[in-house]
Amino acid sequence: MIRSPFRPQAVPDAGILDNHRALVRQVTRRGMFRRGISLGALTMLTGCNLSDDASVDAALRAVSAFNDKVQALLFDPNKLAPTYPESMVLKPPRFNAYYPIDKVRPVDGATWKLEVSGRVSDRAPWTTARLAALPQTDMVIRHVCVEGWDYIGEWSGPTLKSFLHSVGADLNARYVAFHTADDYPSSIDMATALHPQTLLALTYARETLPDPYGYPVRLRTSTKLGYKNPKWITAIEVTNDYPGGFWEKSGFGWFAGI
Amino acid sequence: MQRRALVALAGAGLIGAVAAGGALATSTTPGQALPSMTGDLKRRAAAFPQPVRVGDLAGRAVLGPMEAQPLYGRVDAPPVVRGADGTLFLVVTRAGWLGLGAWMGLGGTPAAVPLDDAALLGEHIALVGLTRAELDALPSFRDAGAAPVPADTVIRMGIVGPFH
C-alpha cells in the first residue's frame, strides 16, 4: 500500500469521539456522515458542552434546520434543472435502497391504490390507470445521490402539480408527504412539489417502471438529492405539520436541494 | 437580493464548518470485505435481473463488492461471448500491473467471467461471484471457440446497490 505524502504523521486524539459514540452510531448509513460528525466539526460547536450528547445533537440539527431555510430561500420555482439527450440515459438505472436488492418487496399494480389525505378536497384513492390518464411529462435528468454517485435517467409520468390540482390540494400548505410500501416516509416543500420537473414517475426509459425502481409509482424531482425520491408510493398527504423522513430522522438534511 | 446573498454566505459558512471536520476522521479499512461478500451476494444479486444491451457493457469498470469498490478491470469489446455449450461470459480485461491495463487497455490480460458472477452496479459492473484472487487465476481468454454476442442483443443481468 502506498502511503500518501499528504497524510499527516500524527492525527488528533480520537478519544473525544468515544464520548459521542451513540450519536455517531445513530447515523449508521454512510461513512461520509460519520466523518462529518468528527473531531473537527465538534470543535466548531463553541459554547456546547462536548460531553453532553443532547446539546451536540441539538446544535447540529439547528445548523441543518438553518441550512434548510437558506436552501428554501434560494430555491427558484421557475428554474429548470439541466436536461440531457436520450442517448445518455443509463439502462437499466442504478438500484439503491436502505436494504439490499433481495429485500425488495414488489407491489401488485393490479390491486395497488394510492391513498390521498390531508388538506385536499378529493380523497378518493387512485389507480395506476387514473394516474396514466393525467397528462404525462417526460424528462431526462441527472439523479444525484448524497453518497457521491450520479446517473442520467429518463422518467415519465404526471407532474405532481397536476396530481395536486386534481385532488383539490391546498397549494398554500407547507408540505407534501409520502408513504411507501417499503416503510420509507418522505416529504418535500410545496414549492418543489409544484416545480415542473417534479413527477410521479410511472416509467423509466419509456418502459413501465421495473420492480426494483419503485413500481408502480415513485417520486422523481430534478431539484433534490436522490434520497428525497421515495419509491413504491402508497399514500400522499398534504399538510402543514412537518412530516420529516426516513434519513432525516437520522440527521440528513431535509431540504436536500441540488 | 442583497439579503439573499448574505443568507447564502452564512449558510455556506456553516456547511463548510461541518464539512471541514471530515478531513480529520478515520475511515473504514479500505478493501475490507462486507459480510454480504461471504457467501450469498451472488444469490442476492440474482433476485431482480434486468435487461441490458450487450453493446452498453463495453468499457465499464469492474469493481470489487466492498466499501472501497476497488477497480479489478474493465469490460472488453466485444463484451459478451457465448461458449460452446451456450453459456454466456463477460470478457474482462484485468487491471494488471499498477492497474494500467484497466485504465488504458494496455498490459492487462482478458478473462472470461461467467455472466452470473457479475452484476450491474449502476454504470459499473460488480464482481459478485468471484474474489479478486479467483479473477486473477482465470486463464487468459482466447477467442477460439467462443462466439461474440452481437452488440444489439439484450441479455439479463443481476443488479446490486452501492457497497459504500
- Interface touch A44/B122, C-beta < 8 Å: no
Q: What is the mean pLDDT of chain B?
A: 78
| Locus of grid cell 386534481 | A166
- Output the pLDDT for position B35: 46
| Per-residue pLDDT tens over the stretch A56-82 | 888 999 999 999 999 999 999 999 999
What is the side-by-side strand order in the sheet with A186-189? A115-118, A233-239, A175-180, A186-189
- Average of pLDDT values for B44-48? 97
- Output the pLDDT for position B164: 81
To the nearest 10 degrees (0 to 180), the angle between helices B2-20 and A53-74 is: 140
What is the CATH architecture assignment of A86-250? Alpha-Beta Complex (3.90)
Amino acid code (one letter) for A237: E
Phi, psi of A39 (to 5 degrees): -55, -45
Choose among B8, B21, B45: nearest Cβ to A41.
B21
- Interface touch B159/A212, C-beta < 8 Å: yes
DSSP A38-69: SHHHHHH-TTS-TT-HHHHHHHHHHHHHHHHH
User: Which residues on chain A are in Cβ contact (under 8 Å) with B52?
Assistant: 91-92
Best residue in B3, B24, B38, B43 for a mutation probing chain A (most A CBs within 10 Å): B24
C-beta separation of A181 from A105 below 8 A: yes
**Residue A11 vs residue B123, higher pLDDT:** B123
C-beta separation of B74 from B87 below 8 A: no
- Residue A236 in this model has a pLDDT that exceeds 70: yes
- Output the pLDDT for position A52: 67
| Per-residue pLDDT tens over the stretch B96-127 | 666 555 555 555 789 999 999 999 999 999 99
Phi, psi of A151 (to 5 degrees): -155, 165
- Residue A77 and residue A199: Cα distance in Å, rounded? 14
At residue A113's C-alpha, the angle toward residues A102 and A208, to 5°, is 55
Range with lowest mean pLDDT among A48-57, B10-19, B54-63, B139-148: B10-19
- Output the pLDDT for position B26: 31
Closest C-alpha to A70, from A249, A250, A257, A240: A257
C-beta separation of B159 from B49 below 8 A: yes
C-beta separation of B11 from B19 below 8 A: no
Q: How confident is the model at residue A206 (pLDDT cuts 50, 70, 90)?
A: very high
Range with lowest mean pLDDT among A15-24, A39-48, A100-109, A210-219: A39-48
- Residue A237 and residue A248: Cα distance in Å, rounded? 18
Range with lowest mean pLDDT among A58-72, A123-137, A152-166, A196-210: A58-72
User: Which residues on chain B are in Cβ contact (under 8 Å) with A84?
Assistant: none
For chain B, which domains are there?
A: 53-149 (2.30.30.240)
- Output the pLDDT for position A154: 98
- Residue B88 in this model has a pLDDT that exceeds 50: yes
- Output the pLDDT for position B126: 98
C-beta separation of A61 from A249 below 8 A: no
Q: Which residues contact A159 (CB under 8 A, 6 or more apart)?
A: A135, A137, A196, A198, A199, A200
- Output the pLDDT for position A13: 62
Phi, psi of A54 (to 5 degrees): -65, -40
- Output the pLDDT for position B30: 40
- Residue A27 and residue A37: Cα distance in Å, rounded? 9
- Domain coordinates in residue numbering, chain A: 15-74, 86-250
DSSP B35-90: GGGGTTHHHHHTSS-EEEEGGGGTT-EEE-SBTT--EEEEEEEEEEEE-TTS-EEE
ipTM comes to 0.80
Q: How far is CA B91 from CA A194, A195, B41, B80, B125, in A?
A: 47, 44, 21, 6, 12
Q: Which residues contact B9 (CB under 8 A, 6 or more apart)?
A: none
- Output the pLDDT for position A22: 65
- Output the pLDDT for position B2: 41
Q: How confident is the model at residue B43 (pLDDT cuts 50, 70, 90)?
A: very high
Query: What are the residues of chain A with a beta carbon less than 8 Å away from any beta carbon of chain B?
Result: 11-12, 14, 30-32, 34-44, 60, 63, 66-67, 70-71, 73-74, 90-97, 100-102, 104, 145, 147, 149, 151, 210-212
| Per-residue pLDDT tens over the stretch A167-195 | 999 999 999 999 999 999 999 999 999 99
DSSP A143-188: EE-TTS-EEEEEEEE-BHHHHHHHTT--TTSSEEEEEETTS--EEE
Phi, psi of B30 (to 5 degrees): -60, 140
